[in-house]
Homo-oligomer: A and B are copies of this chain.
Amino acid sequence: MKIETKIERFTTPLYLESGRILEPYQIAYETYGELNSDASNVILVCHALSGSHHASGTYEGDRKAGWWDKLIGDGKAIDTTKYFVISTNVIGSCFGSTGPMSDNYPSDKPYRLKFPVLTIKDMIKAQKQLLSNLGIYHLKAIVGGSMGGMQTLQFAVDYPNFADKVISLASTYATQPWTIGFNKVAIEAIRRDPRFKNGEYEKGAFKEKGLDGLAIGRIAGHISYLSPDSMNSKFGRNYVNNDGLFELFGRYEVERYMEYNTNNFSKLFDPMSYLYIVKAINTFNLSRGYDSLYDAILRIKAETTLISFSSDYLFFPREMEHIYNMMRRNEQSVNYHEIDSNYGHDAFLVEIDKFDHIIKEVLDG
């Protein structure tokens, strides 16, 4: 499967939920498969906090495939021999779409902290604009996990006739204080890092040595993406070097894992984008703009599939169940699956074989 990053530029203003305007802006995206003649086979895929438009396939020279490569491809659950799949980088992110380190037109200086706060509503509005530009006015389905799952639900609420089906994994109807607490670690760690310079760092400043604040915030993230059980089976109480048990900075394997991953991450991800996306996650609340959550959810017309994971410690299964119960009472078209998994929140990325049959059935059924 040939993949390439495409960029779509928009000169029409994007009216944001905050009342502010983003103009101009651009969206980076990938597509997989072929658009059919009546454009009726389009599936939109939505990524999570640290994800990108690179959901499937492997770029030349890259070791790692896209984040949902096991789910999207020829003959896979999201079958690219049948469907035309579009995966975009959300606005606010740092992989090609307009974000806080993009130039604040007409100047050639980055927005930095002048970038407007974005919400999940804004992200999907921008995606919808991209689809319009591509001549796509209706979707077969929208699929996403975590923050991607928020986008699928927000689509279903804000644009009830836009997609036939939405599939939301490991997500919620509104971000709860537990999750806002985890995000707070990242916000404070980034803000208080002197090298962050209140956002006045040079572009690319962290390529060699990542921002400590982002790495530290990401450690808290990793806790929330895993689960007590997955940590037990993955690391147990193993120590990196048993002779060093009584060294103050000797490390357990779980510590090494976190250090290694987060140090790498802090070189690859822009801390300002992290702040803006975390803000979008924190402010996510399906009911905002409607009289109540009930009213918001009552708008949904798409066939809705909700998938949660038993050990998800970030967005608990009961949060998805809450949506399910509400929709079922309203006799809306909804089905709910709690997948038994020890992998915590990460299950939506790593335990594909536990739920891909559900997605296949929904899409093909």
Contacts and interface: CB of A to CB of B under 8 A. Distances in A.
Contacts of A175: 237
Interface stretch (A73-81, A134-142, A278-286): A278-286
A315 to B, nearest CB: 10
Given A117-B248, A246-B18, A249-B191, A255 B180 contact: yes
Contacts of A67: none
Interface in A141-193: 174-178, 180-182, 184-185, 187-189, 191-192
Contacts of A184: 219, 254-255, 258-259
A232 B318 CA distance: 13
Nearest to A246: B18
User: Which of A17, A117, A185, A235 has the most B CB atoms < 10 Å from its CB?
Assistant: A185
A275 interface: yes
Nearest to A275: B248
A117 B245 CA distance: 9
B220 A185 contact: yes
Contact of A254 (B177, B245, B254, B283): B177
Interface string A282-325: 11010000000000000000000000000001001000000000
A237 B117 contact: no
A176 B235 CA distance: 9
A222 interface: yes
A231 B194 contact: no
Query: Chain copies in the assembly?
Result: 2
B237 A285 contact: yes
A17 B246 contact: yes
Given A188-B216, A212-B192, A237 B181 contact: no
A252 interface: yes
A236 B180 CA distance: 10
A350 interface: no
Interface in A184-227: 184-185, 187-189, 191-192, 194, 212, 215-216, 219-220, 222-223, 226-227
A279 B248 contact: yes
Contacts of A237: 174-177, 180, 285
A216 B228 contact: no
A113 interface: yes
Contact of A252 (B177, B189, B191): B177
A74 to B, nearest CB: 38
Contacts of A19: 246
A35 B279 CA distance: 57
Interface in A234-275: 234-237, 245-249, 252-255, 258-259, 275
A253 B174 CA distance: 15
9 contacts: A177-B234, A178-B227, A181-B254, A185-B185, A188-B216, A189-B189, A220-B223, A228-B316, A248-B275
Query: What are the 6 A-B residue pairs with the smallest beta carbon separation, nearest first?
Result: A18-B246, A177-B231, A177-B254, A178-B228, A192-B212, A117-B246
